[in-house]
Structure 1
Amino acid sequence: MFDSRYIRTFQEVVRTGSYTAAARALGFTQPAVSQQMKALERDVGTALFTRVGRGLKLTEAGEALTRHTAPILDSLEVARQQIDAIARLRSGRVRICAFPSAAATILPRAMARVRVEHPGVMVELSEGEPPDSLRALARGECDIALAFDYPGFPVDAPEELAGVRLMEDPLTVLLPVGHPMARRRSVRLADLANERWIAGCARCRTYFVHACAEGGFTPDIVCTTDDNLVLQSLVAAGVGIAMVPSLVLSFLCHDKVTGRIVEPHTRRQVYAYALRDHLRIPATALLLEEITVAAAARVGC
């Protein structure tokens, strides 16, 4: 409703008692101050000053506005300082949703760098698998989502999202260390047709079944879990074996489990997504950059 410039000028007129003195204090011309006060009076719909001799007297409306001028300007200044802090990365918040293996491998380095370089920026992390994480992003429930797709099974990203390709993640087979295939550097799925299998999340399971069909068999899936620690424990215990992305090998917790590359070599693609309009938000752009750097470092490991 009010132009903040007019409010500041009004405050100075009240303080100094005249348009001329206010103009001197503000570095304006007297006609410029007069025009601003007329514009403010048009905005409020009534007179704010009356002339008494050579001076000015506040009307009842002017008195009412005076009581609120300082709080209005103080609030605007606080807002300006907060916006400036966000723009200069002294504060801000970024909500990120990532699938578990990325949350365990890519994000810790990225989040740590943000904390060191910009301690005022808060990063909130939640876990989610695509496409649920991308739907959450499109609904505004997070600011960045990490997702993946498999060959022939592209992730269905809403049009309003912008994607940044982070890395290729080769697929591996988790085996007990005493398994005969563990002596090989890589294994063919077809050679594992008679094994019992542990499947992962719905999206990974769909591709796994497809890959097995390409290898000429239907896998005997004895259980399913999207918890990587549970999956490793099941493999270690001999319940079954599992096809997992190589990122999982970065946090193997069992010395009785080992991983071998799958032949023919298959890789899933890992992406970071954000709303296109949010790429201009400094904290979001910063975290996307750090995620990209962290993913590149994972490729070099």
Structure 2
Amino acid sequence: MVDFEWYRSFIAIFKHNSVSEAAKTRIMTQPAMSQHLACLESEVGEPLFTRTSRKMVPTERGKQLYSHLAPLIESLEEKTMGLKLHLSPTMNTIKIGAAPELFTETILPLLSGTELNTTTYFGYADQTFELLKEERVDIILTNQQLLMPGIEYVRLMEESFVIVAPMDTVVPEFPLLKDRERWLSEQRWISFGLDLPIIRRYWKEFFKSGPLINPAHVIPCWDLILKAIEEGAGMSMLPTHILKQQIVTQPKYKMVFEDMMVHNEILIGFKSKHKHTLVINEFIKNVCEQNEGEPRSSLFMGLNSD
């Protein structure tokens, strides 16, 4: 008789191409996961994977079995999570990890129209990722797709970065890119981090080289970088949504070379095992619709880590 857990282990191995990674996502030991697979292969009567030194490659029989099983298992998990939702009074609260600026842009406009409670933890990519790993939050908003088995992402929106300088900065007309690069290299810069994260990307995209810049100031907060720019401390690269949030009649900053912007995706991260939790699913759908103007529920419901 087939044990239902054998099927779940088989699907995990299929998705991750690895017994060890599948064991981590199911919080099992590797020998136990291997035993599940061996029992299922014995029941089926033929191998479901070809073992190589680097990964588990599904056989044709394995692919066929997965195509039959995956929809059934996911449907069962969805119904189970729905039942759990109705029985649990604590599932009306969504725990969110996000940078303050992203929260202001994407979540804050939703709060007045939702019946859900929210608990928010502020931090940037590495910090919110750790919160998600430890299951202290249900979802994170991030601009970095840090990979780990059992964590999936759905695209939320695209953000654009532009160079921002103090209002009194005199920007000459430069017909050639190399002249722009030379002039930019001579300016005082404020960076979000010592490794010049977005500045380095800007240089590689437009100038095909790394920036020769030592930042005058390192300030790990977009809002405070903008304040420093307004005080004349230097120029930096800022996401345009930060500038949109500033409602001022006479801004103290200017955008430089607006025809040269770099773009980055904002993602929503979540634990794979919660992908069918109705409350989390609905909240993510609402956030996506609010920020892109189109339903994303079908994308989220169909998301998998294949």
Q: TM > 0.5 between the two?
A: yes
Q: What's the counterpart of residue 178 of structure 1? A: 168
Q: Deviations over 1:226-255 (max 9, x none)?
A: 223321221011110110111211223662
**Corresponding residue to 1:165 among 152, 155, 158:** 155
Question: What whole-Å deviation, never above 9, does each CA across 1:50-86 have from its counterpart, x for those lacking one?
Answer: xxxxxxxxxxxxxxxxxxxxxxxxxxxxxxx995376
Aligned pairs, number: 203
User: Are 1:290 and 2:280 an aligned pair?
Assistant: no
| Distance in structure 1 (CA, Å) of the matches to 2:152 and 2:163 | 32
Task: List aligned pairs for 1:257-276, cutoff 5 A.
Answer: 257-260=253-256, 262-276=258-272
Pair 190,272 (structure 1): closer, same or farther in 2 beyond 3 Å: farther
Deviation at 1:156, TM superposition (A): 2.0
Would the aligned equivalents of 2:154 and 2:268 in 1 still touch at CA under 8 Å? yes
Deviation at 1:208, TM superposition (A): 1.6
Report the equivalent of 1:237.
231
Change (3 A) 1:172 1:297: farther
Q: Which amino acid aligns with 1:165?
A: R
Partner of 2:190: 198
SS at match of 1:174: strand
TM-score, with normalisation over the residues of structure 2?
Answer: 0.58
The answer to whether the 8 A contact 2:99-2:123 is kept is yes
SS at match of 2:149: coil
Other-structure match for 1:40: none
Larger radius of gyration: 1
Q: Name segments (4+ residues, structure 1) moved above 6 Å.
A: none
Q: Secondary structure at the match of 1:95?
A: strand
Distance in 2 between residues matched to 1:206 and 1:296, nearest whole Å: 26
Task: Report the CA distance between 1:224 and its aligned residue.
Answer: 1.0
Q: Counterparts of 1:48-63 in structure 2 under 5 Å?
A: none
1:180 Cα offset (Å)? 2.4
Q: Which has the higher strand share?
A: 1
8 A contact 2:152–2:272 mirrored in 1: yes
Aligned counterpart in structure 2 of residue 142 of structure 1, from 134, 137, 145: 137
Contact 1:236–1:257 (8 Å) recurs in 2: yes
Task: Flag structure 1 segments of 5+ consecutive residues without an equivalent.
Answer: 1-80, 150-154
Q: Does 1:222 align with 2:216?
A: yes
Change over 3 Å in CA distance of 1:284–1:176 after alignment to 2: same
Work out which of the residue numbers 180, 194, 209 in structure 1 matches 2:200.
209
C-alpha distance in structure 2 between counterparts of 1:189 and 1:112, whole Å = 46
Alpha-carbon separation, structure 2, partners of 1:161 and 1:266: 27
1:51 maps to what in 2? none
Query: For 1:96 and 1:189, how far apart are their aligned partners in 2?
Result: 40
Identify which of 243, 256, 281 aligns with 2:277. Answer: 281
Q: Percent identity?
A: 13
CA contact (8 A) 1:85 1:91 kept: no
